[in-house]
Amino acid sequence: MLMRTLRSKMRWIMIAIAVLFVISIFGMYGFEGARKRRSPDHGEGGGDYVVVEIDGKPLMRSALDQSVRNMVSRMDVRDIKPEDIPRLYQATLDSIVTNQRLASEAGGSGLDASDAEIDHAVQEVSEQFPTKEAFMQYLDQSGVKMAEFRESIAEQIVQGKVVERASEGIEATDEEALDFYEKTKGLFFHSPAGFKVDYARFSDEKTAVRVVEELKLGDELKESMESVASSDVISSTVDSGPVFMSEHSFKDELASFATLDTGAVGGPVLIASDDYFVGVKREIVPESTVPFDEVSGDVKSIIVEEKRREALESFFRDMRGRANVVVHDPELFHVPEVPAEVEEAAEVGESSDIEPSVTPEEVAGANPVAPEGGKEEE
The top-scoring range by mean pLDDT among 242-251, 299-308, 340-349 is 299-308
Give yes or no: residues 235 and 307 share one domain: no
> What mean pLDDT comes out for the span 342-352?
48
- What DSSP string describes 215-234? HHTT--HHHHHTTS-GGGEE
Is there a single domain that holds both residue 148 and residue 10?
A: yes
For 19-36, the pLDDT digits (tens) are 344 434 334 333 333 333
**Angle at the Cα of 73 (from 71 to 75), degrees rounded to 5?**
65
pLDDT beyond 50 at 63 = yes
pLDDT at 351: 42
Q: What is the CA radius of gyration of the chain?
A: 30
Does residue 1 carry a pLDDT above 90? no
Identify the pLDDT of residue 43: 45
- What pLDDT is recorded for position 134? 94
Number of domains in the chain: 2
The answer to whether residue 213 scores a pLDDT higher than 60 is yes
275 has which bridge partners? 272
Average pLDDT over residues 133-152: 93
| Mean pLDDT of the 303-307 span | 96
338 — pLDDT class (breaks 50, 70, 90): low
Domain annotation covers residue 369: no
Q: What is the mean pLDDT of the chain?
A: 81
Residue 79: predicted pLDDT:
83
Domain extent, residue 66, equals: 2-170+301-362
Task: Quote the pLDDT of residue 340.
Answer: 58
The CATH number that applies at residue 328 is: 1.10.4030
pLDDT at 45 over 50: no
DSSP string for residues in 251-293: -GGGGGGTTPPTT-EEEEEEEETTEEEEEEEEEEE--EE--HH
Q: Output b/e per residue, 185-200; b: 16+ Cβ within 10 A.
A: beeebeeeebbbbbbb
* 147 & 69 share domain: yes
* Mean pLDDT across 278-305: 95
One-letter amino acid for residue 213 of the chain: E
Mean pLDDT for the stretch of residues 286-292? 95
**What's 367's DSSP letter?**
S
Could you tell me which residue, 377 or 296, shows the higher pLDDT? 296
Q: Assess whether 26 and 164 both reside in one domain.
A: yes
Q: Is residue 16 located within the same domain as residue 148?
A: yes
Q: How far apart are CA 207 and CA 234, in angstroms?
A: 12
Q: What is the pLDDT of residue 75?
A: 84
Alpha-carbon span 65 to 209, nearest angstrom: 62
Q: How high is the pLDDT of residue 336?
A: 74
* 276/159 same-domain check: no
More confident residue, 81 or 205: 205
Say yes or no: 104 and 164 in one domain: yes
